[in-house]
Structure 1
Amino acid sequence: MTQAECVRHVTSGTRKEVCSSVVIAAPQVKRRKNPLCSRCSLFICFCLWSLSVAIMNVTLAVKQYISKMIEISGPGMKVLLMDKETTSIVSVVYTQSEILQKEVYLFERIDSQNRDNMKHLKAICFLRPTKENVEHLIQELRRPKYSVYFIYFSNVISKSEIKALAEADEQEVVAEVQEFYGDFIAVNPHLFSLNLQGVTRGRSWEPSMLARCTQGLTSVLLALKKCPMIRYQLSSDMSKRLAESVKQIITKEYELFDFRKTEVPPLLLILDRSDDAITPLLNQWTYQAMVHELLGLNNNRIDLSRVPGISKDLREVVLSAENDEFYANNLYLNFGEIGTNIKNLMEDFQKKKPKGQQKLESISDMKAFVDNYPQFKKMSGTVSKHVTVVGELSRLVSERQLMEVSEVEQELACQNDHSSAQQNVRRLLQNPRVSELDAVRLVMLYALRYERHSSSILSSLMDELSRRGVSERHRRMVQAAVEYGGKRIRGSDLITPTDAVSITKQFFKGLKGVENVYTQHQPLLHDTLDQMIKGRLKDSQFPYLGASSLRDRPQDILVFMIGGATYEEALTVYNLNRSTPGVRIVLGGSNIHNTKSFLEEVMSATGPSSSSSRAHGGGFHSSRR
């Protein structure tokens, strides 16, 4: 990187035009004096964009960063050089075909040892600013494989590391070094994850996890251009530690957080998963949540390789609301509605499907077929994918008796009838079609709900698990769940019994009727946010960090859940955003849990068996006993 190149970059105007495909205003470029080397007055720049419309959308924020990286590199063939984490960050918001349209023809890992020299390619490097990545980059610059390098770090990088990179750039192949704050997985527009499992040891932070959560959270704040007031859950020392750590970064990097003041300051609320251990244990009935619970969503990908009779091209499928209209429209609909919509999708597909050779008798017929074929092919893929996914969900619901199981789960979570609860739990434990996972989760929910009830039958239910052949390790999870999220730990009143008479119990009729009895439960987060929006959230339970407090109704709220959030909570945020004009909420978590991953989190947090817990994974099987 030459002095002339850097001076040209730094002294270029503070406003730059953006390609028409990116719906943003010209970026505001801020500069922090951060010399790259002693040979010249090189500076690292960091860019923050003003959205044409002020929104809280983490997906759009990451897409803008990636589009800008590619645009800055100019025309010509490019390689995108990433690490393990940034590969996930990019793949969740962009498909490979979309990036190919931007002349990015190769995707490589910075830690790969088998990359070829390709001097005809420009390299766009998008990396987390870790010591390992900086060292890989230093080695890359000493023996460059590409013609020119545009380097983007997903978070703040130190002056010493920038200097080391500058000194390694002896061949002057670096054209750009910037900080683009996309250091998180943008799952939905209002939901992000850091993909971290096992963030706690007992009631304390795993040290490396505290640092990573701080980096991820400050990255989201910078991407959304927010310098917030901070509130945290008083009953959780971990919440306070993270709040203080984020505040420390905001203070240290004050130039980065020097945003235009708003009439009502944004608010960051830090919560602890242990305050609501019930929500991650429940079976789900809306599409995205149900897919994650029963099949597992990993960076929008589903592994269907174990599905009976699955075709080769459907062994792994991608579900992305950004690129799949059917999925976007059905994300939060219940299973009954999805079944109806799948039927409509197939009928629509049959109408549009080419009828065969009789339609291709003229040149115009052939031209029409060719013109429509890409859309037909895309629709064909969408239909087969969703029919397969919904079909497998339906099979599992039937095989595992999930309608019966879910009804009892909801009773445990929402009702206050111990006599009915114990009878129903015992009945299901004696049903051989109920899976081991569902049996253990029912006993966990009973333990959390009635741990101090004078007539508790927990020991009897544990004996029932033994008779079913449930392993000792999985039986220990019941006590671990109570240690993690029992009444002694909780800072809030988690169980709010609902009047059973007021609930209309509807059962499935065909594909309809999943509402009510299966979806009574509201996460604790709903009440917390509702109280916050109404200005009634108690400072004694959720204090502000520092002396100041918010007097007005909050408008922009960022919630972070230590220990992981859930898709049910994401649905709560989605509904609150829709029903509360003027309030915009984004939810994030160290992870997005289903029951299996949550139980791993619980085991890692509650005892010395944590290492074996993580090595074994969930260990549950969905097949019949």
Structure 2
Amino acid sequence: MNVISAIKAYIVKMTSESEPGMKILLMDKETTSVISMVYGQSEIQQKEVFLLERIDSPNFANSTGLRYLKCLVFVRPTQQNITALCNELRNPKYGAYYIYFSNIIAKADIKILAEHDEHEVVKEVQELYMDYLAVNPHLFSIGLSTCFLNLNWNPSALQRTVQGIISVLLSLKKCPVIRYQANSNVCKDLGTRIDEIISKESSLFAFSQSNNSLLLILDRRDDPITPLLNQWTYQAMVHELLTINNNRVNLSDINGIPKELSEVVLSVEQDTFYAKNIFMNYGEIGTNIKELMDQFQAKAKSHQKIESIADMKSFVESYPQFKKLSGNVTKHVTVVGELNTMVNKFNLLDMSEVEQELASQNNDHYSHLQSVKKLLNNEKIRDIDATKLVMLYALRYQNHNNNDLTGLIDLLKRRGITARFLKNIVNIIEYAGSHARQSDLFNVENAVKITKRFIKGLSGVDNVYTQHKPLLHETLEDLVKGRLRDHLYPYLGGHGSGRQQDIIVFIVGGATYEESLTVHSINRNNPNFNILLGGTTVHNSASFLQEVDQATKNVPRKHTRTIRNIQFD
């Protein structure tokens, strides 16, 4: 189950089925993102695609078009797009239209399009199930920044998520049994809606070996710890400190960054160094960057001496690869250099060590409290990091007899922390306090087995700073060993039969790159299983706190009434 391969196969099908010749590719905002996640613009142009246009762009509406070009249309089956297509077919700009919808299209909408095709320019209409973002081969996202409203589904987000998951299932040819987190209404609602569509569209889901796959739906609220932690593997670290948005990282706010590096692309499909290093830890990345630079310098040195026609021919033939290597070196040195600057400037090593102790070590309330207080008095620690530290403490020791959350909030106030940050502490407890969690997130029995390991050089970052394992790790370990309890993760509509080896895990409220690493590791260690991870989005701590804020905006303070010293606007 490789979502990038599934998307790329559909794109090849879409660009090769029409008659030979130059084509225009007409997309909407969301399908543009779908394609750009797996193909660069130069790659898509190699498939005889002359021009990329947006159907929702005013420039397209006002353009004249070229009748000798064929138009490939790839859009979501929304009413807005159907209306735009009808307007286009009334006065066609191009000689032929091949229309591909990213999901199931209603027969009534097909009929409407046919009625507007008075010039008979539509040559084909197909469904190609690409209604999601393929992030890594085993990771997908629906692309929703938030999905909750008053701790329940935002109705439009529920509909979009159902469509996205249905598209994933159809693109991978899976008709799964469904299990969901028992204490979560949002998980059950999502599973029920997906099950209804599978039943309604049974002919589309008539795959062989249909009982061999499982869709497991989980709730982000069961593990609020993972999205709050600083990260130390390449992809996760870049997302936490710099933010990855549809494979793009904006560096324009960094002093001294040249214009060509103001935005860089980090794609496992277009960048072999990135693909090899996304799960490497901070120390290993430094070593591997050095090797990449040595490789580049060796090639550069060999090209300095061009004395003959043969030398020139050899250089020109290798120039595209040379230029690509040069760009990769510059890009990754810049990114890693900025990560290094932020780690040192904001004392992230000290910060992360205390985070990891709170998230992973056995219960030692006094020691943890003193560690948090010490960092709150450190001026180099950012306000957001100080606030997250108190949030972790609040989640860990919410019900502890000697809980000193009030004292920690007072320390934050002395730092001049804004009311918005202070509200995050209340919000996180209302969102995912002990009342909301099904699992024993701070499992003392497991935690005492952890032996604190000290750093041995920079490469040891994967020790003390990566002790934490997401709750998903334990859930998947139980699942592959057949120990996942039915009463905690019931089957929708009864019991499943047999043991499913193709497993799609979907997290309502967003997945993380740390959980993507967990899935990668479990896949590697369990070759008989094939696990795919998805989420409404892929969070870093900033986007997660936005999700929490949105989810609790109008929620009464049922579980934080004892916190008296936070003022609300």
TM-score of the alignment, normalized to the shorter chain, above 0.5 = yes
Say whether the 8 Å CA contact 2:303–2:315 is kept in structure 1.
no
> What is residue 528 of structure 2 aligned with on the other side?
582
CA deviations 1:413-446 (Å, max 9, x no partner) are 0121111111111111111110111011000000
CA deviations 1:178-228 (Å, max 9, x no partner) are 000010000001000011022111232111111111000111000000000
> What is residue 213 of structure 1 aligned with on the other side?
161
Tell me, in whole angstroms, the C-alpha distance in 2 between the residues paired with 1:413 and 1:261.
40
| 2:157 is the alignment partner of 1:228 | no
Say whether the 8 Å CA contact 1:534–1:553 is kept in structure 2.
no
Tell me, in whole angstroms, the C-alpha distance in 1 between the residues paired with 2:302 and 2:555.
61
2:460 alignment partner, SS class: coil
CA deviations 1:454-490 (Å, max 9, x no partner) are 1111011111111111111110100100111110000
2:547 to 589, 601, 614: 601
> What is residue 79 of structure 1 aligned with on the other side?
24
Say whether the 8 Å CA contact 1:556–1:585 is kept in structure 2.
yes
- TM (norm. structure 1) is 0.87
Say whether the 8 Å CA contact 2:150–2:554 is kept in structure 1.
no
CA deviations 1:350-381 (Å, max 9, x no partner) are 00114566x12111111111111111101000
CA displacement at 1:501 relative to structure 2: 7.8
Q: Which amino acid aligns with 2:121?
A: V
CA deviations 1:231-273 (Å, max 9, x no partner) are 00110001000000000000000000001135x5210000110
| 2:339 is the alignment partner of 1:393 | yes
CA displacement at 1:608 relative to structure 2: 2.8
Residues 221 and 401 of structure 1, relative CA distance in 2, 3 Å threshold: same
CA deviations 1:100-153 (Å, max 9, x no partner) are 111112111001222322212211111000110111111111111111111000
Residues 489 and 499 of structure 1, relative CA distance in 2, 3 Å threshold: closer
> What is residue 470 of structure 1 aligned with on the other side?
417
Tell me, in whole angstroms, the C-alpha distance in 1 between the residues paired with 2:19 and 2:349.
55
1:383 to 329, 353, 356: 329
Tell me, in whole angstroms, the C-alpha distance in 2 between the residues paired with 1:227 and 1:308.
51
> What is residue 3 of structure 1 aligned with on the other side?
none
> What is residue 112 of structure 2 aligned with on the other side?
164
Counting matched residue pairs gives 551
> What is residue 431 of structure 2 aligned with on the other side?
484
1:121 to 69, 76, 79: 69
Q: Which amino acid aligns with 1:167?
A: E
> What is residue 11 of structure 1 aligned with on the other side?
none
Of the structure 1 ranges 465-474 and 124-133, higher mean CA displacement relative to structure 2 is found in 465-474
Structure 1: runs of 5+ lacking an equivalent: 1-55, 611-625
| 2:463 is the alignment partner of 1:516 | yes
Say whether the 8 Å CA contact 1:83–1:128 is kept in structure 2.
yes
Tell me, in whole angstroms, the C-alpha distance in 1 between the residues paired with 2:81 and 2:383.
42
> What is residue 136 of structure 1 aligned with on the other side?
84
| 2:239 is the alignment partner of 1:292 | yes
CA displacement at 1:502 relative to structure 2: 4.6
Tell me, in whole angstroms, the C-alpha distance in 1 between the residues paired with 2:366 and 2:147.
37
1:66 alignment partner, SS class: helix
2:49 to 94, 104, 113: 104
CA deviations 1:575-596 (Å, max 9, x no partner) are 0110002100000000000000
Say whether the 8 Å CA contact 1:121–1:147 is kept in structure 2.
yes
Tell me, in whole angstroms, the C-alpha distance in 2 between the residues paired with 1:563 and 1:365.
57
Say whether the 8 Å CA contact 2:133–2:142 is kept in structure 1.
yes
1:197 to 124, 145, 150: 145
Say whether the 8 Å CA contact 2:248–2:265 is kept in structure 1.
yes
1:557 to 503, 509, 516: 503
> What is residue 122 of structure 2 aligned with on the other side?
174
Tell me, in whole angstroms, the C-alpha distance in 2 between the residues paired with 1:304 and 1:609.
36
Tell me, in whole angstroms, the C-alpha distance in 2 between the residues paired with 1:508 and 1:300.
32
2:490 to 543, 565, 569: 543
Greater relative contact order (CA < 8 Å, ≥ 6 in sequence): 2
Tell me, in whole angstroms, the C-alpha distance in 2 between the residues paired with 1:300 and 1:575.
22
Structure 2: runs of 5+ lacking an equivalent: 557-569
Tell me, in whole angstroms, the C-alpha distance in 1 between the residues paired with 2:432 and 2:82.
40
4+ residue stretches of structure 1 with deviation over 4 A?
354-357, 498-502
Residues 269 and 499 of structure 1, relative CA distance in 2, 3 Å threshold: closer
CA deviations 1:271-319 (Å, max 9, x no partner) are 1100000000000000000000000000100000011210110000000
Tell me, in whole angstroms, the C-alpha distance in 1 between the residues paired with 2:2 and 2:314.
39
Say whether the 8 Å CA contact 1:506–1:515 is kept in structure 2.
no
| 2:248 is the alignment partner of 1:308 | no
Say whether the 8 Å CA contact 2:222–2:437 is kept in structure 1.
yes
The equivalences for 1:230-309 within 5 A come to 230-261=178-209, 265-309=212-256
Tell me, in whole angstroms, the C-alpha distance in 1 between the residues paired with 2:185 and 2:245.
30
1:585 alignment partner, SS class: strand
> What is residue 399 of structure 2 aligned with on the other side?
452
Tell me, in whole angstroms, the C-alpha distance in 1 between the residues paired with 2:83 and 2:91.
13
CA displacement at 1:75 relative to structure 2: 1.3
Tell me, in whole angstroms, the C-alpha distance in 2 between the residues paired with 1:447 and 1:258.
49
| 2:289 is the alignment partner of 1:342 | yes
The equivalences for 1:137-152 within 5 A come to 137-152=85-100
CA displacement at 1:554 relative to structure 2: 2.2
Tell me, in whole angstroms, the C-alpha distance in 1 between the residues paired with 2:129 and 2:365.
50
| 2:320 is the alignment partner of 1:374 | yes
Tell me, in whole angstroms, the C-alpha distance in 2 between the residues paired with 1:515 and 1:238.
35
> What is residue 49 of structure 1 aligned with on the other side?
none
Say whether the 8 Å CA contact 1:78–1:104 is kept in structure 2.
yes
> What is residue 136 of structure 2 aligned with on the other side?
188
Residues 362 and 451 of structure 1, relative CA distance in 2, 3 Å threshold: same
Tell me, in whole angstroms, the C-alpha distance in 2 between the residues paired with 1:500 and 1:424.
19
| 2:276 is the alignment partner of 1:329 | yes
Say whether the 8 Å CA contact 1:73–1:150 is kept in structure 2.
yes
| 2:365 is the alignment partner of 1:418 | yes
Q: Which amino acid aligns with 1:365?
A: D
Say whether the 8 Å CA contact 1:233–1:541 is kept in structure 2.
yes
Say whether the 8 Å CA contact 1:232–1:542 is kept in structure 2.
yes
Tell me, in whole angstroms, the C-alpha distance in 1 between the residues paired with 2:453 and 2:434.
29
Tell me, in whole angstroms, the C-alpha distance in 2 between the residues paired with 1:203 and 1:528.
23
Residues 609 and 487 of structure 1, relative CA distance in 2, 3 Å threshold: closer
> What is residue 27 of structure 1 aligned with on the other side?
none
1:258 alignment partner, SS class: coil
Tell me, in whole angstroms, the C-alpha distance in 1 between the residues paired with 2:400 and 2:43.
57
Of the structure 1 ranges 198-207 and 315-324, higher mean CA displacement relative to structure 2 is found in 198-207
Tell me, in whole angstroms, the C-alpha distance in 2 between the residues paired with 1:215 and 1:572.
26
Say whether the 8 Å CA contact 1:603–1:609 is kept in structure 2.
no
Tell me, in whole angstroms, the C-alpha distance in 2 between the residues paired with 1:422 and 1:379.
48
Say whether the 8 Å CA contact 2:212–2:499 is kept in structure 1.
no
Say whether the 8 Å CA contact 1:334–1:514 is kept in structure 2.
yes
Say whether the 8 Å CA contact 2:23–2:51 is kept in structure 1.
yes
Say whether the 8 Å CA contact 2:281–2:459 is kept in structure 1.
no
1:323 alignment partner, SS class: coil
Q: Which amino acid aligns with 1:201?
A: L
